[in-house]
């Protein structure tokens, strides 16, 4: 009797709560954000379609694809037999670096210098920007006392570039706060060469232009011949892989040995043609609507470091508004856009009480209830796992496409490096989607520096 009264009471309170929350429950919201194996299989099919269309010979088919599938002209991974001294240049954010890299068998030594990249330079013009870069290179070369040697240089330029050959590529569009005039639609290698000539620097030979994804693949491939895919999980997300030329219908060069080339998928844009709409939620739409580039980089916005914290914040704010989290208290801090850093997601996922408390305090919650901490953990878990599963389904599609049952994926980027569980989520998703395959995730150490030097090494060996 007492049992049924209690049961009735509990049911009544639950119904009342559901009434006031318009049917929203924590479990219900999180269920919408949880991807089943079938969802991922559907996603694999869609991204495979886009990859194939992106490689097509005819433009009409290519335009159906949301991903560019850019040909990099990098044809070989390192054999491990490369040797020599190389320069590398890494430009793609607030700092840029010049590196001197000595490759000997089984051993790479690197010496690098980080140079500041001021807002003034970022927003200047082509001559000012590239003269500064050239000057930094010349000073560095003198400092290291290698000015009298002919040095091949690999240039990592992590902006969208349409490659014309391994040593020429046109900047499609500046991103990440760069606006220097006279660079868009220009060949950035020509701009750098001209600047080096203005400095009367004749000993540096630019032998390769790459992006960070290709650099990552190359740097890991030097250590492990099984590496055939490169992945970035940092501010953004992107992947590249070694493809057989016979599958690259849009390849216009000779079909010569080695009959392969690295394809830079630019998969962050997957879904820009609406193909992910069935899986996107109100939170994804809001992140996109508030972004600097609405309608673009849809896949990236569901995964990468620049957005993951913000999605978690939006879920929290929604649940708070329904009285389902923090007793309905929305602090000024959590209410503000981009205030939930992706680093916080890592802190919460770490499970360490001190780190969790610190995050809650930073968000203005001094009083902490176990129930709220549990819910926050659940939210961060579900969102991180969704991101990891989406990226893994993309990788599984690539693995299937290249027909490998055993391969290593080189990964770079702070989201992968610093999130305590991202790698585990990815590993379990990969074995769920590719049972029986042996897929390893390998952390890349400085892909954009070492990788550029290795591209230079492979390219200069190809020339001889």
How many residues bind Mg ion (CB under 5 A)? The answer is 2
* Residue located via tokens 């020509």: 190
Which tokens belong to 34? 């949880």
Cβ neighbours of residue 345 under 8 Å, at least 6 residues apart?
308, 309, 312, 380, 383, 384, 419
| CA nearest to 35, candidates 417, 361, 448, 429 | 429
Angle (CA) 127-128-133 rounded to 5° is: 95
CB atoms within 10 A of CB 286: 16
Least distance to ligand ADP from the beta carbon of 414, Å?
3
Please tell me the distance from the alpha carbon of residue 396 to that of residue 436, in angstroms, as a whole number. 13
**Which of ligand ADP, Mg ion, none has residue 414 at its interface (CB below 5 to 8 Å by kind)?**
ligand ADP
Site string for ligand ADP, 95-124 (x = CB under 6 A): ------------------------------
Helix pair 370-402, 353-362: axis angle to 10 deg: 100
Site string for ligand ADP, 395-414 (x = CB under 6 A): ------------------xx
Name the residue nearer to Mg ion (CB basis): 82 or 212.
212
Please tell me the distance from the alpha carbon of residue 178 to that of residue 119, in angstroms, as a whole number. 8
Please tell me the distance from the alpha carbon of residue 234 to that of residue 411, in angstroms, as a whole number. 10
3-state secondary structure of 185: coil
Q: Which of 176, 259, 336, 358 is catalytic?
A: 176
Which tokens belong to 147? 């000015």
Task: Please confirm, yes or no, whether 176 is among the known catalytic residues.
Answer: yes
Name the residue nearer to ligand ADP (CB basis): 208 or 236.
236
Q: Which of 208, 234, 394, 449 binds ligand ADP (CB under 6 A)?
A: 234
Angle (CA) 242-245-246 rounded to 5° is: 125
Q: Segment 365-394, which members bind ligand ADP (CB under 6 A)?
A: none
Which residue stretch of 9-17, 56-64, 226-234, 348-356 sits at the interface with Mg ion (rule: CB under 5 A)?
A: 226-234
- Using the rule CB under 6 A, is 305 a contact of ligand ADP? yes
**Which of ligand ADP, Mg ion, none has residue 346 at its interface (CB below 5 to 8 Å by kind)?**
ligand ADP
Least distance to ligand ADP from the beta carbon of 176, Å?
8
* Residue located via tokens 């989406």: 390
- Using the rule CB under 6 A, is 415 a contact of ligand ADP? yes
- Using the rule CB under 6 A, is 235 a contact of ligand ADP? yes
Please tell me the distance from the alpha carbon of residue 382 to that of residue 367, in angstroms, as a whole number. 24
Q: Segment 330-349, which members bind ligand ADP (CB under 6 A)?
A: 342-343, 346
Cβ neighbours of residue 141 under 8 Å, at least 6 residues apart?
87, 100, 147, 151, 201, 203, 204
- Using the rule CB under 6 A, is 156 a contact of ligand ADP? no
DSSP 8-class letter at 125: B
Q: Which of 52, 64, 84, 93 binds ligand ADP (CB under 6 A)?
A: 93
The closest residue (CB) to ligand ADP is: 234
**Which of Mg ion, ligand ADP, none has residue 216 at its interface (CB below 5 to 8 Å by kind)?**
none
Q: Which of 418, 421, 423, 440 binds ligand ADP (CB under 6 A)?
A: 418
> What amino acid positions are annotated as catalytic residues?
176, 212
Task: Give the interface with Mg ion as residue ranges (CB under 5 A).
Answer: 212, 234
Q: Which positions touch ligand ADP (CB under 6 A)?
A: 93, 234-235, 305-306, 342-343, 346, 413-415, 418-419
């Amino acid at each position: 009797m007492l049992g049924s009264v209690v049961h009735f009471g509990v049911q009544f309170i639950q119904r009342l709560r559901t009434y006031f929350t318009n049917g929203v429950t924590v479990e219900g919201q999180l269920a919408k954000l949880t991807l089943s194996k079938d969802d991922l299989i559907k996603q694999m099919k869609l991204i495979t379609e886009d990859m194939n269309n992106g490689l097509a010979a005819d433009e009409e088919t290519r335009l159906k694809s949301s991903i560019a599938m850019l040909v990099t002209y990098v044809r070989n991974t390192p054999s491990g037999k490369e040797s020599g001294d190389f320069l590398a240049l890494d430009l793609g954010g607030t700092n840029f670096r010049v590196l001197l890299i000595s490759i000997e068998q089984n051993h790479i030594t690197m010496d690098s210098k980080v140079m500041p990249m001021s807002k003034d330079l970022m927003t200047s013009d082509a001559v000012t920007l590239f003269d500064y870069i050239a000057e930094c290179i010349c000073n560095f070369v003198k400092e290291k006392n290698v000015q009298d040697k002919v040095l091949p240089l690999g240039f990592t330029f992590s902006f969208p570039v349409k490659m014309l050959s391994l040593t020429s590529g046109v900047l499609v569009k500046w991103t990440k706060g760069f606006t220097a005039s006279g660079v868009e639609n220009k060949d950035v290698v020509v701009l750098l060469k001209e600047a080096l000539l203005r400095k009367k620097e004749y000993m540096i030979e630019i032998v390769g232009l790459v992006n960070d994804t290709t650099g990552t693949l190359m740097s890991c491939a030097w250590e492990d011949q099984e590496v055939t895919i490169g992945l970035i999980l940092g501010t953004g997300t992107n992947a590249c892989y070694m493809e057989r030329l016979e599958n690259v219908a849009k390849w216009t060069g000779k079909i010569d040995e080695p009959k392969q080339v690295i394809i830079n998928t630019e998969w962050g844009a997957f879904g820009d043609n609406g193909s992910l709409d069935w899986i996107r939620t109100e939170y994804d739409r809001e992140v996109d609507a508030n972004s600097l580039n609405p309608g673009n980089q849809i896949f990236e916005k569901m995964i990468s470091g620049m957005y993951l914290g913000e999605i978690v914040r939006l879920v929290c704010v929604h649940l708070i508004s329904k009285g389902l989290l923090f007793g309905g208290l929305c602090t000024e801090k959590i209410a503000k856009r981009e205030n939930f850093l992706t680093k916080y997601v890592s802190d919460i996922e770490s499970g360490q009480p001190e780190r969790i408390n610190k995050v809650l305090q930073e968000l203005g919650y001094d009083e902490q209830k176990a129930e709220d901490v549990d819910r926050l953990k659940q939210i961060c878990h579900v969102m991180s796992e969704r991101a990891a599963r989406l990226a893994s389904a993309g990788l599984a599609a690539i693995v299937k496409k290249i027909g490998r049952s055993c391969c290593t994926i080189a990964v770079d980027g702070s989201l992968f490096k610093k999130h305590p569980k991202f790698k585990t989520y990815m590993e379990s998703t990969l074995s769920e989607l590719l049972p029986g395959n042996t897929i390893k995730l390998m952390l890349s150490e400085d892909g954009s520096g070492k990788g550029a030097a290795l591209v230079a090494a492979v390219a200069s060996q190809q020339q001889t």
